[in-house]
Structure 1
């Protein structure tokens, strides 16, 4: 039976996209997206997602999106494993995006002063 590895999220950028280039010249953008949800008890919680975008789309999102923007991301979930300098095993789970589309600036991102009634965590 086939399997599916697909993630779709709609969230706000916690910081401007960070665009770097590989030794071969391929662009890589790293995004930090926040999504909010409300539990049955009425409390809200924020989940942060690491997103990696490659190639031309990485360059585009790096120029088109800024902190606070609402961004739609679709891709696959990937967990990487490595050893740090002290020999500890580390894991990082991220979404490797094949689609990353900024949907515009939020009211809070457009204002110089934050709205105290806005629950976005940045």
Structure 2
């Protein structure tokens, strides 16, 4: 083995294998399943109160897949914990049909349905939302004022 290969292999083997603390965050690392969804709002986002008294915004996004002759739609129910203020007001003003890009965290949960069967559900929590395009009828209305 050449001196170069011996030196290079020693450097690779000598690297620490322990996990290094994250320098950019003061919180501990945790596993998170992230999703990015591009689709149209099924309806205007709604403000709801939880059983604990917190307010959340719930909305659904429809995302189409497949060729035009065999198009299928996937529906994603999303929750946002946006605090009271301009951003929350803006979200609630988005009309049905708005094309959005949602960055979210996803978790799987289980619950018991009314028949006593254990069911699974995906919980999607919005991290951020970006409007890509408003519906054509609204864009036309805004331009006429």
Larger radius of gyration: 2
Runs of 4+ more than 4 Å apart: 1-4, 108-111
Q: Alignment partner for residue 44 of structure 1, among 61, 65, 71?
A: 71
Mapped pair 1:68 → 2:97: yes
Question: 2:111 and 2:32 mapped to 1: Cα distance?
Answer: 25
Please name the residue that 2:136 is paired with. Answer: 107
CA RMSD of aligned residues (A): 3.1
What stretches of structure 2 of length at least 5 have no aligned partner?
Answer: 1-18, 20-29, 141-145
The CA deviation at 1:86 is 2.7
Aligned counterparts of 1:7 and 1:13: Cα–Cα separation in 2: 16
How many pairs does the alignment contain?
A: 111
Aligned pair in 2 of structure 1 residues 21, 3: CA closer, same or farther (>3 Å)? closer
CA distance in 2, matches of 1:72, 1:88: 34
User: For residues 4 and 22 of structure 1, what CA distance do their matches in structure 2 show?
Assistant: 23
Superposed displacement of residue 73, structure 1: 0.6
Aligned to 1:83: 112
Superposed displacement of residue 25, structure 1:
4.1
* Alignment pair present for 1:98 and 2:135: no
Helix, strand or coil: the match of 1:60?
A: helix
The structure whose residues are more often helix, as a share, is 2
Instruction: Indicate yes or no: 2:54 matched with 1:26.
Output: yes
Given that residues 44 and 93 in structure 2 are in contact (C-alpha distance below 8 angstroms), is that contact kept between their aligned partners in structure 1?
no
Task: Tell me the TM-score normalised to structure 2 length.
Answer: 0.61
Residues 108 and 33 (structure 1), Cα distance of their counterparts in 2 relative to 1, 3 Å cut: farther
Task: Report Cα offsets for 1:8-59 as digits up to 9, x if no partner.
Answer: 11110111212112355432111110111225x9632211111111132783
When normalised by structure 1's length, the TM-score is 0.70
